[in-house]
Structure 1
Amino acid sequence: MATALLIIDVQNAILAGKAQVPRQAELDAALDDTVLRLQHLQGKAREAGHHVILIQHDGPSGHRLEKGTTGWELRAEIAAQGNDVIIHKKSSDSFFETNLNDHLRQHGITHLIIGGCMTQFCVDTTVRRAVSLGYDITLIADGHMTADSRHLSYSDIINHHNETLSGFNAGAAMITVKPAADITF
């Protein structure tokens, strides 16, 4: 089973302005911790010779992830290196109107280890789409991040998705949820 690490939308302004000042600092710190775990997994994947695929959201004019702006750029800690691939998207689904599926099929990849931002949007949509396309998924339990919603804290959203997606399947393809420390390449 060929495996790839897929990191979604870990961009400079992904959480910019998503909370009031005191709460924003907590969100930013939690994102920094998440990014460090993803960076560590990136190193392990590269060392083991696995594909690293970075998804970058191309926001429209005026959006916090407006294409070409500093906020749009990938965080320096997970920036592409060597043979890493960057795939650009314009919707929550990393497969929608992108060449992601073609790239995975071309390289015989059947298993995706997925983390990134935003949990309830891009991560959830991509994970569900990938399993429905026949990929086995390992969702990094502590490797995805989001902001608070009106009714739920970011940690409640993350915990809900980890619980909901664990064991989710489409035919033989399955989603498994594991903390970064338990993921090997």
Structure 2
Amino acid sequence: MTTLPDRPHTALLVLDVQTGVMAGAHDRDGVIANIETLIGKARAEGVPVVWVQHSDDRLPRDSEPWQYVPELACRDAEPLVHKSYADAFEDTELEAVLAERGVGRLVVAGAQTDECIRSTLHGAFVRRYDVTLVADAHTTEDLSEYGAPPPDQVISHTNLYWRWHRAPGRRACTVDTTDVSFAADDAG
């Protein structure tokens, strides 16, 4: 249903599941296990897995905190997109990677819910992609000392918001890991 012409395929987008990002993440192990399940399912179905890795002053490239968590491994044939802004489309080759593979629908998992997940979801949606957020496969750290709600509430609110997000000719939805479908004509 995407409004992108000639883009019938789906890709799994794995955002910023890096050692430093996940160190204080809410339900770290459960989220990583769900992402690992999604990766296995995508690979088994021949669905592209696209990895995104963030770097900035607080997360310097090639540092230990910048590395992906040891539980997850990018295969050589899987694209790895480097970014330095919250939206994975900003100043990266992500759009070209997706266009090359005919991708018009993204299934999104990773971190952090309140920054890179939200920014990339919106970035994809305004760029005319259909977008599925995996409700139990994204997380954030506790930023309540800065006025944010506790992480479980941030995650719940994002899931609720994205479940009802709409635009002409595009679909957004939120599903649990067990309900993810990579079929192009299925919103889950």
TM-score (norm 1): 0.88
1:127-184 C-alpha deviation (Å, 9 max, x unpaired): 0110111111110000100012224111000000001111312321121100001113
CA contact (8 A) 1:131 1:169 kept: no
Q: CA deviation at 1:105?
A: 1.3
Specify the alignment match of 1:9 in structure 2.
Answer: 16
Specify the alignment match of 1:170 in structure 2.
Answer: 167
Output the amino acid matched with 1:5: L
Q: Secondary structure at the match of 1:110?
A: strand
Q: CA deviation at 1:110?
A: 0.8
**Percent pairwise identity:** 30
CA contact (8 A) 1:115 1:139 kept: yes
Q: Mapping of 1:25-104 within 5 angstroms?
A: 27=25, 30-60=27-57, 63=58, 65-104=59-98
Distance 2:171 2:163 in 1: 8
Distance 1:79 1:90 in 2: 21
Output the amino acid matched with 2:158: H
CA contact (8 A) 2:79 2:97 kept: no
CA contact (8 A) 1:136 1:175 kept: yes
Q: Secondary structure at the match of 1:14?
A: helix
Specify the alignment match of 2:119 in structure 1.
Answer: 125
Q: CA deviation at 1:88?
A: 0.3
**C-alpha RMSD of matched pairs (Å):** 1.3
Moved over 6 A (4+): none
Distance 1:82 1:148 in 2: 33
Gaps of 5+ in 1: 17-23
Distance 2:13 2:97 in 1: 12
CA contact (8 A) 1:9 1:118 kept: yes
Gaps of 5+ in 2: 1-7, 183-188
Q: Secondary structure at the match of 1:76?
A: coil
Specify the alignment match of 1:116 in structure 2.
Answer: 110
Count residues in correspondence.
Answer: 172
2:140 pairs with 137, 146, 167, which one?
146
